[in-house]
Structure 1
């Protein structure tokens, strides 16, 4: 098949609306053709230092088509109480975060963001179903499919995560 005849499959993920931390309205389609790690984050969690590892991943792989989308969430022990502006400032000041953050959102329950409704349909592995805690990681491949899911305690620089990213990037 000629390259110009190829079309990328459309997945439900690509049509999901997003509002970034700065108020920009977009959708997950902005990541079409890229490998994306989606992570629910919090500023006052024991796992918050993972921001440093996430930023390191972003710097290492961004030029190869890798993105990170952080979704601040206050559902787990109230560990993300700040405003969207405060969260952005915290991430920049403490971890030099350059990857995009959404506005604060629910990742489970009756007000679950539609992105997480789709992500949690991925039911294999150790953590099927709903999000258990802050810093749970979903890796979406270039075709918009969830390729992997990692529990919160798995560090961003773990061999498992790096291997999956490398494979997804090709």
Structure 2
């Protein structure tokens, strides 16, 4: 059984955005030993001033350790209450509970982290971007749910173009 995997291979990133960043996930498929531990890991890098799209862990918690750079990290619960809104730096650690939405805006030198997850097969769902929940909702549902105008709902639904997990810096 394979018991070692290299997270530094740039060619093997699971998600890559030329202007936004990259994400590597090591789960039970890449490292079968993780199935026995029911854990997984991810290594992320957000390029300078880019944003990691708001998303939530669907099936586990994450313990995040900042390995390089800094970022403004926001975590909110299911009712929209902020449980964390802080600047994190190299050496900091924080927890992102299951179903809580997290996003980060990298500083001018970028942001890198490693996260340990409490599931061997992690699933994440983005709130913004090309593959997001918002993009999949009918326009009228967004209008009624968030009590916004049709033009605001269109902005929420389509404003990120083809971007997914990483949103490029604003010019």
- For this structure pair, what is the TM-score category when the shorter chain's length is used for normalisation? under 0.3
> Rg: which structure is higher?
2
TM-score between the two structures when normalised by the length of structure 1: 0.23
TM-score between the two structures when normalised by the length of structure 2: 0.23
